[in-house]
Amino acid sequence: MELMAVPERKVSPHKRDIRNGPKALKPTSVIIRCMRCGRVKLPHFYCCSGKREVVGEQNESSR
């Protein structure tokens, strides 16, 4: 028969919050624009789901 480790009592909400405080999401103040489509995005995130098409570019490709 093996005995399992069991906490003696529940951790208080204050102690729990102190421990988990640094894990919280931080606000990001850096926002940049995608070089291809011009949409606003966060740095190091892939954007280009929408492609920016120039009006003259579409006519040249069909020739």
What are the tens digits of pLDDT across the range 11-60? Answer: 999 999 999 998 888 776 788 888 888 888 888 888 876 555 554 555 55
Among candidate residues 38, 31, 33, the one with its CA nearest the CA of residue 52: 38
Model confidence, pTM: 0.33
- pLDDT at residue number 12: 93
Among candidate residues 28, 47, 24, the one with its CA nearest the CA of residue 36: 47
Query: Which is more confident, 60 or 9?
Result: 9
Contacts for 40 with CB less than 8 Å, ≥ 6 apart: 31, 32, 33, 34
- pLDDT at residue number 55: 47
- DSSP assigned state of 22: G
- pLDDT at residue number 53: 54
Count of CA atoms in the C-beta half-sphere (13 A) of 21: 6
